[in-house]
């Protein structure tokens, strides 16, 4: 898959380089001779990506050696277009982790929903809240996450108990629905 940055200057495409996990080919469309491969991880394939701004992207990983999804979700990380500032945003497992780690990284009950407002480095993630009995999905709480700092805030404070959300191109909630 390939996608252009918000300004249209940069193109990123998922690709393989022999001997390396799947990563991104980044091309400056103003200077196509300056293409670079961004592996993002030494051991894991990049499964998907989205541009957040011209400088920031997010993506999900899967272990290249074991491509099964059993027991692990994609998780999510953010990184700059040049490959610097890689930051894990969403954990891949429900394993017990230190409190320090849990404060910096969201649990796997969170998932990417949409890119935030234009001109920001924010995305919208949903926190899935499950019923204590039966573990059925009760609602999804949309939150705004800064991909550069991991700062988090609730997007809809008094919203409906919805299991799904649709957002416009400005990161505003436009539709809430319930599938239960």
Stated pTM of the model:
0.85
Q: Is 174 helix (H, G, I), strand (E, B) or coil?
A: strand
Q: State mean pLDDT over 33-43.
A: 86
Q: What percent of the chain has pLDDT over 70?
A: 87
Of the pLDDT bands very low, low, confident and very high (cuts 50, 70, 90), residue 101 is: very low
For 66-89, how does the pLDDT look when each residue is reduced to its tens digit (9 = 90+)?
555 444 567 899 999 998 999 999
Average pLDDT of the chain to the nearest whole number: 86
Please say if the pLDDT value at position 169 is more than 60.
yes
Asked whether the beta carbons of 110 and 102 are under 8 A apart, the reply is: no
Please say if the pLDDT value at position 141 is more than 50.
yes
CA distances from 92 to 29, 71, 118, 143 (A): 34, 9, 28, 18
Q: Which residues are 97's β-sheet partners? A: none
Quick one: residue 81, left, alpha or beta (phi over 0 = left, psi -120 to 50 = alpha)?
A: alpha
Of the pLDDT bands very low, low, confident and very high (cuts 50, 70, 90), residue 177 is: very high
pLDDT at position 173 is 92
Please say if the pLDDT value at position 63 is more than 90.
no
Nearest to 36 by CA among 45, 47, 27, 49: 27
């Amino acid at each position: 898959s390939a996608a252009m940055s918000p300004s249209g200057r940069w193109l990123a495409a998922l690709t393989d380089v022999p001997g390396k996990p799947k990563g991104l080919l980044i091309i400056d469309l103003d200077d196509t001779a300056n293409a670079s491969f961004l592996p993002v991880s030494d051991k894991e394939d990049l499964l998907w990506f989205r541009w957040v701004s011209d400088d920031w992207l997010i993506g999900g990983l899967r272990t290249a050696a074991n491509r099964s999804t059993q027991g692990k979700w994609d998780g999510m990380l953010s990184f700059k277009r040049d490959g610097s500032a890689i930051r894990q945003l969403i954990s891949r497992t429900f394993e017990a982790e230190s409190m320090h780690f849990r404060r910096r990284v969201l649990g796997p009950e969170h998932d990417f929903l949409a890119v935030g407002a234009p001109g920001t480095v924010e995305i919208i993630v949903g926190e899935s809240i499950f019923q204590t009995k039966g573990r059925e999905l009760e609602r999804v709480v949309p939150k705004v996450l800064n991909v550069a700092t991991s700062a988090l805030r609730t997007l809809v404070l008094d919203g409906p108990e919805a299991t799904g959300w649709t957002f416009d191109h400005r990161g505003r909630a436009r539709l809430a629905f319930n599938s239960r």
